[in-house]
Structure 1
Amino acid sequence: MIKLLIVDDEQIEREGMQAILEKTYPEHVIAQAKNGKIAIQMAKDFQPDVIFMDIKMPGMNGLEAVEQISAENPNIKFIMVTAYDTFDYMRHAIKLGVKDYLLKPSKASEIVVTVGKVLKQIEEERKSLAMNRLQQDALQKTLSLVETDVVTQLLFDHVHEVHVDMLVEMLDIQSTSEMFVMLVLLPTGSEHLYSSVKEKVRQTKSGWVGALYGKQLPIIVFRQTDKSFRSQAINLARDILSLANPEQGAGGFIGIGDVCHSLDSIRQSYQDALVATMDTTLHTKYRFYSEMPVLGDARNQQLVHHQKKEFSDQIRLGHWDYIRMNVLNTLQVYENEGTDLLQTQQRMLEVLWIVSRVMSEMGVETMSPLYSYKAQDYRQLRSETAQMLDRMRQSYVSHYEKLESDTIQQIKQYIIDHSHEDISLDALAKKVELSPIYISKMFKEKLGVNYIDFLTECRIEKAKKLMNDPEKSIKEITFEVGYHDPNYFSKVFKKMVAVSPNKYRKTLLGI
Structure 2
Amino acid sequence: MYRLLIADDEALEREGLELMIRHIFPDEFEFLHAENGRKAIQLAEEHRPDIIFMDIKMPGIQGLEAVRQILSKLPSAQIVMITAHDYFSYAKEGLLLGVRDYLLKPARREEVADVLKQAIAVIQEEKRRRNEQLELQEKLAHLLPLAENELTLMLMLEHVQGLELEQLAGLLELQWSKGYAMVLSFPRHSGAAWEEFQQAKREIYETVKQFAKAGLGCLAGPLIGHQLALFIPLPPGRTGYSQRVSSMDWGERLRTLMEQRFGLPVSIGIGSIREGWDGLSRSYREAVRVCADHHDSFSVHHYDDIIHSSGQTAVSLDEEKRLLDALLQRSKQEALERFSMLYAYFEQDGERPLPVVRGEVTGLLLFLARGVHSAAGAEILASLSAAEDPASLRLSAESWLERLLHSLEQEQEHNRSHVHQRALLYISQKYKEDISMEQTAEYVNLSPHYFSKLFRQHAGETFIDYITRLRINEAKRLIAGDQLNLKEICYEVGYKDPNYFSRVFKKAAGMTPSEFRQQHEKQGPC
For Structure 1 versus Structure 2, the TM-score category normalised by the shorter chain is: 0.5 to 0.7
Q: Which residue of 1 aligns with 2:116?
A: 115
Q: Distance in 1 between matches of 2:260 and 2:309?
A: 37
Q: Distance in 2 between matches of 1:312 and 1:254?
A: 28
Aligned residue identity for 1:40: I
**One of 274, 280, 284 as aligned partner of 1:270:** 284
Deviations 1:377-436 (A, max 9, x none): xxxxxxxxxxx2x422334578999xx9xxxxxxxxxxxxxxxxxxxxxxxxxxxxxxxx
The question of 1:225 aligning with 2:236 is answered yes
Aligned residue identity for 2:234: R
The answer (yes or no) to whether the contact 1:6–1:33 under 8 Å persists in 2 is yes
Q: Distance in 2 between matches of 1:18 and 1:257?
A: 71
Residues 164, 117 of structure 1: alpha-carbon distance in 2 compared, 3 angstrom cutoff: same
Mapping for residues 347-386 of structure 1, pairs under 5 Å: 350-355=356-361, 361-364=381-384, 366-368=386-388
TM-superposed deviation, 1:162:
4.9
Deviations 1:76-119 (A, max 9, x none): 22111111223221111111000112111112332121111011
Secondary structure in 1 matching 2:92: helix
TM-superposed deviation, 1:40:
1.5
The question of 1:156 aligning with 2:121 is answered no
**One of 302, 305, 310 as aligned partner of 2:316:** 305
Q: Distance in 1 between matches of 2:342 and 2:359?
A: 15
Q: Which residue of 2 aligns with 1:55?
A: 56
Aligned length: 381
**One of 307, 313, 326 as aligned partner of 2:342:** 326
Q: Which residue of 1 aligns with 2:107?
A: 106
The answer (yes or no) to whether the contact 1:241–1:249 under 8 Å persists in 2 is no
TM-superposed deviation, 1:179:
0.8
Secondary structure in 2 matching 1:345: coil
Secondary structure in 2 matching 1:134: helix
Q: Which residue of 2 aligns with 1:73?
A: 74
TM-superposed deviation, 1:280:
12
Q: Distance in 2 between matches of 1:169 and 1:360?
A: 29
Q: Which moved more, 1:235-244 or 1:66-75?
A: 235-244
Q: Distance in 2 between matches of 1:243 and 1:39?
A: 54
Q: Distance in 2 between matches of 1:62 and 1:249?
A: 66
Secondary structure in 2 matching 1:59: coil
Q: Distance in 2 between matches of 1:312 and 1:49?
A: 71
Residues 397, 277 of structure 1: alpha-carbon distance in 2 compared, 3 angstrom cutoff: closer
TM-superposed deviation, 1:6:
1.5
The answer (yes or no) to whether the contact 2:179–2:275 under 8 Å persists in 1 is yes
Q: Which residue of 2 aligns with 1:185?
A: 185
Residues 293, 242 of structure 1: alpha-carbon distance in 2 compared, 3 angstrom cutoff: same
Q: Distance in 1 between matches of 2:260 and 2:277?
A: 33
Q: Distance in 1 between matches of 2:295 and 2:20?
A: 76
The answer (yes or no) to whether the contact 1:238–1:249 under 8 Å persists in 2 is no
Aligned residue identity for 1:20: M
Secondary structure in 2 matching 1:190: helix
Aligned residue identity for 2:27: P
Mapping for residues 71-150 of structure 1, pairs under 5 Å: 71-150=72-151
% identical aligned pairs: 27
Secondary structure in 2 matching 1:300: coil
The answer (yes or no) to whether the contact 2:67–2:97 under 8 Å persists in 1 is yes
Mapping for residues 496-507 of structure 1, pairs under 5 Å: none
Q: Distance in 1 between matches of 2:323 and 2:198?
A: 25
Aligned residues: CA RMSD: 4.3
The answer (yes or no) to whether the contact 2:267–2:292 under 8 Å persists in 1 is no
Q: What TM-score does the superposition give when structure 2 sets the normalisation length?
A: 0.60
Q: Distance in 2 between matches of 1:239 and 1:120?
A: 55
Structure with greater Cα Rg: 2
Deviations 1:427-452 (A, max 9, x none): xxxxxxxxxxx7x98487369569xx
Q: Which residue of 1 aligns with 2:468?
A: none
Residues 272, 57 of structure 1: alpha-carbon distance in 2 compared, 3 angstrom cutoff: same
TM-superposed deviation, 1:348:
8.2
Deviations 1:292-342 (A, max 9, x none): 48544xx434x331697279989x9996653332232577xx79xxxxxxx
The answer (yes or no) to whether the contact 1:8–1:33 under 8 Å persists in 2 is yes
Q: Which residue of 1 aligns with 2:19?
A: 19
Secondary structure in 2 matching 1:210: strand
Q: Distance in 1 between matches of 2:72 and 2:361?
A: 63
Secondary structure in 1 matching 2:102: strand
Q: Distance in 2 between matches of 1:257 and 1:163?
A: 24
Secondary structure in 1 matching 2:274: coil
**Structure 2 unaligned spans of 5+:** 187-196, 367-378, 419-526
Deviations 1:59-88 (A, max 9, x none): 001100011111222122211111122322
Q: Distance in 1 between matches of 2:162 and 2:406?
A: 16
Q: Distance in 2 between matches of 1:191 and 1:197?
A: 11
The answer (yes or no) to whether the contact 2:220–2:230 under 8 Å persists in 1 is yes
The answer (yes or no) to whether the contact 2:52–2:78 under 8 Å persists in 1 is yes
The answer (yes or no) to whether the contact 1:242–1:248 under 8 Å persists in 2 is no
Residues 307, 449 of structure 1: alpha-carbon distance in 2 compared, 3 angstrom cutoff: same
Secondary structure in 2 matching 1:17: helix
TM-superposed deviation, 1:231:
6.9
Q: Distance in 1 between matches of 2:22 and 2:295?
A: 72
The answer (yes or no) to whether the contact 1:242–1:249 under 8 Å persists in 2 is no
Q: Which residue of 2 aligns with 1:46?
A: 47
Aligned residue identity for 2:218: G
Secondary structure in 2 matching 1:118: helix
The answer (yes or no) to whether the contact 1:259–1:269 under 8 Å persists in 2 is yes
Aligned residue identity for 1:191: K
Q: Which moved more, 1:67-76 or 1:96-105?
A: 67-76
The answer (yes or no) to whether the contact 2:272–2:304 under 8 Å persists in 1 is yes
TM-superposed deviation, 1:25:
4.7
The question of 1:288 aligning with 2:299 is answered no
Aligned residue identity for 1:129: R
Aligned residue identity for 1:229: Q
Q: Distance in 2 between matches of 1:130 and 1:307?
A: 56
Aligned residue identity for 1:263: W
Aligned residue identity for 1:5: L
Deviations 1:175-195 (A, max 9, x none): 12x210011336543332446
Q: Which residue of 1 aligns with 2:268?
A: 254
**One of 442, 445, 450 as aligned partner of 2:410:** 445
